[in-house]
Structure 1
Amino acid sequence: MAKFNVRPDIDAAAERLQSTLGSKREIQRLPEVLWEGETVEMLATGLYGKGNGLVAMTSQRLIFLKHGVMSQQLEDFPYGRISSVQWSGGMLTGTLTVFASGNKAEIKQMPKDAGKALADALRARLSGPGIPPAGPAGVPAPQVAPIAAVPDVASRLQTLDQLRAAGAITDEEYRDRRAKILDSL
């Protein structure tokens, strides 16, 4: 696999890609579209609209980036606005359908393994705690969690296990987050 030397989180996610064919320029340009403090957890390739590009699952949103010579395309889906995710796979590729704010976006021709892993990680993220609703201009709004909404330790650990199994977080991130959950007891 090609080395990109872009940023540690992007490099780690890019190394897990089966193929970077058609997405090298997007991987290089990804830091330009990330928000301050936003990290990349998982990458996949796919076709959205008229362009083949890069799908990035970050700490704050799902991004589709196509950076061609003649045109660029960026679409993002903050987690607080995603209502559901659907995956349908064929023999080699599949389609990730994201339902967000009354809209439906289909990212087609995603490699089957990467697409399924990304869909599973998205589902785990959406079912997990603490997804802040997006505010104006896609900036996450401050979140005030009611006391009754705080999940129990078992469900937080289960979500963490799912994220690691889906490849959304590294083993080191898993150990750190698990320790923090257990320290909160």
Structure 2
Amino acid sequence: MSEKKSRLEEIKAELEKLNINPTFFARKEIHELPNVLSTDEKIVYLVEGRNKTTQHHIILVATDRRLIFIDKEFMYGLKVEDFSYNKVSSIQYEKSLMLASIDISIADNILEIDGVGKYEAELFCEKVRDFMSRPKEYFQPKSEPSVLDQLEQLGRLKENGVITEEEFAEQKKKLINKL
């Protein structure tokens, strides 16, 4: 079994333990998680919904390190945005009759996600608020990944079609120049 496949199986097992059952619509984003998460990064909670701006189906992932927004669309490619919890100024949810929406304020930007399950939106916001209240030192990386680790991650991104050959070459050159 390939490394990506085994990592994907670990992630699916992690989601199952958290009692998170993503729908069929989130499968593309879930399959990108092995490329997005660090090896020892743990998912705290995950919700799926619709980006109010683009109307694309997306997932929001709260990990033990950061908040990640993943949008994988067939025609538009992959969009990943991640935010340190200490950059999030507020997170709120609003329930309607059937579903809920989540608004996340980061600097001068507001991410708006709707079509989220009511219970899931509330729980997600609680989990994120818990991390927002932690001291900045909590989020400092334990150790800087080595250049070799970064090159391996870069290779996986290229191998999986997340970045082009040109982007790979450019980033590889930057990393090698650090040596």
Paired residue secondary structure (1:110): strand
Residue number among 111, 116, 119 corresponding to 2:117 in the alignment: 111
List structure 1 runs of 4+ shifted beyond 6 angstroms.
none
CA distance in structure 1 between the partners assigned to 2:98 and 2:16 by the alignment: 20
Kept after mapping to 2: 8 A contact 1:9/1:41: no
Residue number among 94, 98, 101 corresponding to 1:92 in the alignment: 98
Write the letter of the residue equivalent to 2:26. S
Q: Which residue of 2 aligns with 1:76?
A: 82
Gaps of 5+ in 1: 134-139, 143-185
- CA gap 1:18/1:33 in 2 versus in 1, 3 angstroms: closer
Write the letter of the residue equivalent to 1:85. I
Q: Which residue of 2 aligns with 1:54?
A: 59
Write 1 or 2 for the structure with the bigger share of helix.
2
2:16 is equivalent to residue 11 of structure 1: no
Write the letter of the residue equivalent to 1:77. F
Paired residue secondary structure (1:22): helix
Residue number among 19, 22, 25 corresponding to 2:25 in the alignment: 22
Kept after mapping to 1: 8 A contact 2:45/2:63: yes
Paired residue secondary structure (1:125): helix
Q: CA deviation at 1:54?
A: 1.2
Q: Which residue of 2 aligns with 1:37?
A: 40
Paired residue secondary structure (1:29): helix
Q: CA deviation at 1:45?
A: 0.4
Kept after mapping to 1: 8 A contact 2:86/2:136: no
Kept after mapping to 2: 8 A contact 1:89/1:95: yes
Q: CA deviation at 1:90?
A: 1.2
* Coordinate RMSD, CA, aligned: 2.5
- CA gap 1:46/1:14 in 2 versus in 1, 3 angstroms: farther
Q: CA deviation at 1:86?
A: 1.0
TM-score (norm 1): 0.62
Number of residue equivalences: 133
Kept after mapping to 2: 8 A contact 1:80/1:131: no
Q: Deviations over 1:106-137 (max 9, x none)?
A: 1111111111110111112212344657xxxx
